[in-house]
Structure 1
Amino acid sequence: FYEFLLVSPHSTKTFVLAKYGNPALLNDIYTELYITEGGTGGISDEHEVRHIERAFNKPAIQETAIKYSDIFTTLHGKVTQIKTVLTQGIAGIGKTVTVQKFILDWEEGKENQGVNFIFPLAFRDLNLIKDKEFSLTQLIHYFLPEFKEFGITHLLNSKVLFIFDGLDECRLPLDFKNNEICSDVTKTAPLDMLLTNLMKGNLFPPALIWITSRPAAATQIPPECVDRVTEIRGFNDPQKDEYFTKRFSDEDLAKRIITHVKSSRSLYIMCHIPVFCWISATVLERLFVEEHSGEIPKTLTEMYTHFLIFQTSLKNEKYLKKQETEPLKSLELDKEFVLKLGKLAFNNLETGNLIFYEEDLKEIGIDVNEASVYSGICTEVFRQEIGLYEGKVYCFVHLSVQEYLAALHKFLSNTDTGLLEKTVNEAICSKNGHLDLYLRFLLGLSVEYSQQLLKGLPLQRISCDIAEIKQYIYKKIHENFSPEKSIYLFHCLNELNDSSVVKRIQNYLNSQNLTEKEISPSEWSALAFVLLMSAEELEVLELRNCMLRDEGLQRMLPVVQVSRTALCIGDYNTSVSLKYFLFLFRLSFCFLTERCCEALASTLSSDSNLRVLDLSNNDLQDSGVKLLSAGLGNQQCKLDTLRLSTCRLTEGGCASLASALCSNPSHLIELDLSYNHPGDSGVKLLSDLLQDPTCKLETLRLKMCGLTERCCEALASVLTSSSLLLRELDLSDNDLQDSGVELLSPGLGNKYCKLDILRSVLGNRHCCTSLASALRSNPCSHLRELDLSYNNPGDSGVKLLSDLLQDPTCKLEILQCGSVQSKKTNVQYRMQLVCWRTQDSVECVFV
């Protein structure tokens, strides 16, 4: 990382303070990060590894990508001025580097030249003066004495950007609610009051504000103080390759490292974080260059263990001779210092502190002067940073490094034989998963390979039976935990180098032997884990005749949330191409009940990729649909197709659906309620929904729903709505009778009717007259397909409709009529007449 402070490319004098490293080098190695507008739909305090894994599996769809240099640029079509931006991102994802690149581009005259002054004020520096009072002018002069030559009037008449980097490191209360209002830039006030008033716009209203933060800390900023939220997602797959390629001048070495990282999904997922790419590059470069004869690390624990070992060997040069003459004492110092760092890491694990000051180190017994001996550890593992304004702060290079050292401390200093089982239970019970990675490291350190690597630290360590802890984790997988916890336990097994259940599931997949099988809940979790971790993207996963049931669906929900595959479970036996159904999850005939709907609603309310949900032929009933509707009504729900055929819905279910879709109508375009019992009153509720200008429904299927002529008047009214987007309406196998179709016909004759496909029921030939008349009277009609199967229009009715096809203004391409009688050897056949339009004529055939 290259820290610098740059002020005003437009002034006669450009200040460069506390500048470390070469800006040209930053330009050379900087790899574009993926940044989106809007974040992930709310602030979460869950463990950041979960963010990583979800982001890795989540393709970029319907998201607004934004370039780092454009975060204050208003999007096309919007007029709202962007004054305050909050940029979120997990630890090590590249927030600070993005800030530095933004400033460097500005200083070099490449971007944002409308800004006159940039003041980067990192919270780690502000913490050092948190108890002092300043005016805004004094605060600027405190960090930038050279700025005193510019008067306050010059500042107020300039376009100024304040950058507050690292909100998660802030040790100020930031009391937005109770701090007094301060609007005078020359008035002295406590630092906390000064900052909150600046962020609220009370102090220096024209100033631009940019705040960066880890997700859990971002809640400290009131939403009304923020004009735009962006999220740094780290590296996508091509950017990972680009990073390693830029990192090494040796092209063959870069390719070997990329190939190895991709061979381990757990490593490849973590490479979403730029810092982990750097750790991996550091370890693998040394192993490959030195032609390492042992195993190349494939798990997180192995990678971090190698990283620590390499860094402990990088002592300050002036101590190397002393190390050669006093090796035992040197080793003892190594061990002692690593243990102290581990204790510091462990003690701060609960709070998630990443930033420490000298007093924090003294409390743990670390001598700051002695620490400088360990140049490798203190520059790459636990580093001293002078900050932008000369204040000393210390930090682990990444939260995961802190968690690894915390696990190492616990492993090397604890003799409790039940520790691992106890930690498994604590991790499972943790709501935000703050012990997830810590446990994975603790388990990974217990295997023999890690023991061999750590033989230089001869301390008392946990005595554990690996086979016993594996069995304990298997037992926990069988218990009814959340789906994320079940999958997490497979990650734990992976650190123990156990993949037996996963391999069994992979064999099932390879042999397509999952049909006609009762799959256990633990096997469903294993399947979800395999799909999430697989390097291969399945086009179709056929699980026909598998009894998914509510518990199985619960275990598969993480796949639903991030699914890129077409997952077909149930009675569908046709292959579905991935390119056509990218976000498809079919759950037809899966023995599901209302119990599964609450979990599905939760998934729909999250930042899910799910677009098509087929729950047909499951006993959901109104109570289940009511639970499901809570998810449909959430603004995060992006579902565009919902199929609830044969789910025992009545008017009550329709009421829940209509209410939900009114509150979030922007995405659903297809709704299938066939073979239910909504009744005419239920259809009236749906008709009201269709007339809502924000409703986007294009397909509504109500086949065999017990409807009568009473629903047709409401539907006809819908068809005359100028805002209607409905293109397909299926009313087949309902007892509409002649009177119902006659009520429906005026809607079809209206110029606003945009129907392409209509499937309906006719009583006899008299209805054909009104229907043909309506379509002939509407030259604007879009109707291309009319299905009147299994009716009795008679020859004269069919003749009326056939004549309609000959009308040059008619756009009908397919006409299906039923119950046509044809005599052959005195036997009557019920036949289907299908007519379709070719380029030059109309073709008809009986089938």
Structure 2
Amino acid sequence: MAGEEQALAGLLRALQGLTPTDFQEFKVKLSEVDVEGGWNIPKDSLARAAHPCALVSCMGKNYSKEAAMDIAIGLFEEMEQRDLAKKLLDEKVKEYKRKYREHVVQEFLRYKEVNSCLGENLSISSRYTALTIARRTGSQRGDEHEAVDTSHGCANSSNGPATITVTAQMLFKPDEDGQTPQVVVLVGAPGMGKTMTVRKVMVEWVEGTLYKQFDYIFCIDCKDIAFTKEASVADLISKCCPHRRTLFEKILDDQKKILFIFDGFEALGFSLVQPESELSSDPREVKPLGITLMSLLKKTLLPESSLLITTRPTALQSLGRCLEGEYYAEILGFSAAMREEYFHRYFENNDKADVAFRFARGNKILYSLCVIPIMSWTICTILEQELHKKKSLVECSIATTPMTVFYLSRLMKCRGRDDPEDLPRFLRKLCSLAADGVWKHKVLFEEKEIKDHGLDQPDLLPLFLSEKISKQSRDHGNTYSFTHLHLQEFFAAMFYVLEGDEEMVGDSGALVKDVNMLLESYSESREDLNLTVRFLFGLVSQKSIEYVDEITGCRISPQARDDLLRWLQGRHRDISHPSQALKVTELDTFHFLFEMNDKSFAQSALGRFTDVDLQDIKLTLYDQMALSFCIRQWVGLSCVTLQGCSFDQQDPGEELVHRAPGAGGRPHPLAEEELLSPIRPLCRALRHPGSDLQVLRLRWCRLSESCCAELAALLAEHPGLARLELADGALGDGGVRLLCEGLQQPGCRLRALR
């Protein structure tokens, strides 16, 4: 309403600027106006409107605001009152811009996440976290473009110009040579945050903090127009505007102030090779959609306008053939600092955010995968659910494989128009490629390998592999890599457990699926296979078998479980002396069992062992979770030896934050559960009912005074514990007093303390 009053106020000022004679002429012409689909102002009403204020009121009652302004502008032009017509037109354009920006805010400020409640929308301003974006130092043709390597979260600077790190705000700023980009291609794998970046751009433009040089930014979701057969540029603009009457002429008056954003260009799927003679130069000319877009790209249409195109790497080569003077930028994901910021933005509650981020950082694999924004979202979503159910993440069975499978389910939401039956076949072939690469220490694959594996399917390939377009691509084809190395290892593990007789196609012929060969290679020399083996255990859990089948249609065979069990039972027996107790001496054993998260399997695997003996290991929170899970299932465990090990501890600054009193002066519950003694997870696991623990050695583990309360509780509650060794511990007088209190408890049966 304020906008309407402002516009009519402009009309009033214009009428007040007329002489009495001109005012009467205006009224006469107004009485002769024939409004299409409307009606004329009754003559008696016009006669009573003897002054400008009354006439404006009369027009406002009989016409819409837009119609009243259009009629007045037309009449002023007929009367050759061009200055007044221009002022009114400027008022109209100003009002149109205001309404368009309001529409942009409604469309882009708030969005709905997959896991949000009914009716709950999130603000892009509160959730968006800045991404690392690399831009080439100079414009290049697409066929010479060296794509930035996102598979490992770092730039691939070989055989190409250097890259510089930029932000979304800098994409249309002059480069080091003083050249302002007119066309920017923003590249990113699925889940890297392209669409969220576009949303942020639109909102900040409305707020006046970004791209002030543009009067209009029109954002076109390519998925929405993918099935459009014909359109003009005017039609595309109309899709972005909420108004029935769009001011095309005024919008197009200054092309330099227009930015078109095409989000998800790869969704269009049509050929970008069009005859030059077919291209259009008229914004209102209706042509096949491909020709209209090609005309914009080739600059035969609106040559001075700017373009921002977001796309997956698969569309780069075809784009490069039809663009000129374009700049390329690639989203690399979250930096270390931005990962932490994202957790805080997601949870909003600082206590929960700190606990969740500490958990993710303690798992090197998950933390590395958090460079991918959608993986950070996946991990936060799962941790939020666990924090809602329990106070302590240490007691939750959150392994790496379930989170990766959940990430896979999110990728499935990005699928195109492929046949559902194509997916299982494609994934089997993808897994064979991944396994081939893992065996050969290979992360880059040539185009021929992609075709040999039958993976050249445009709707599915970009979900999993990033395309690298090189200078030599004309002769040798492009190269491809998995979005992240850990995802390649995940799919390599899937190769060994998917049902079917597919063999792995490699340079040296076919390699059959042989889980035992993989396990033996890992045991003997291939430590780099650790994560592949870990995923192997996770994939044969019952939950993973059911979930993978549900989201992909692929069936995982549980037969590998027997091979995994025999291997675990045999690997530690081989390194134990026949006359000694059987010991588990490798931390990865606990991670493998934790990954499967099957209590009966863990009991079978550990049932023949009696001792744990770990040396010189820095135990992260995630390590302690895996160890604690296994200890709880381990009926025959009698001796735990940790020598030269350290425990992940909370930073003092963070601990102070968490120990700050909450409402009512009480400590935050999370502080009590998560952030006390660093050995609390271990001690709580050792106190579980049915434990046969007799000896606990924590030698040279640099235990502090805060650990003694947990040890005292263990002494008091574990009647079977007969020997405790704490060599070289900086326990302090307070720690010794706490231990003495534990020794005095009725339940303590300790015989030796060293």
TM category (shorter chain) comes to: 0.3 to 0.5
- Under a length normalisation based on structure 1, what TM-score does the superposition of the two structures give? 0.39
Q: Compare the two structures and name the one with the higher helix fraction.
A: 2
Of structures 1 and 2, the one scoring higher in RCO (CA 8 A, sep 6+) is 2
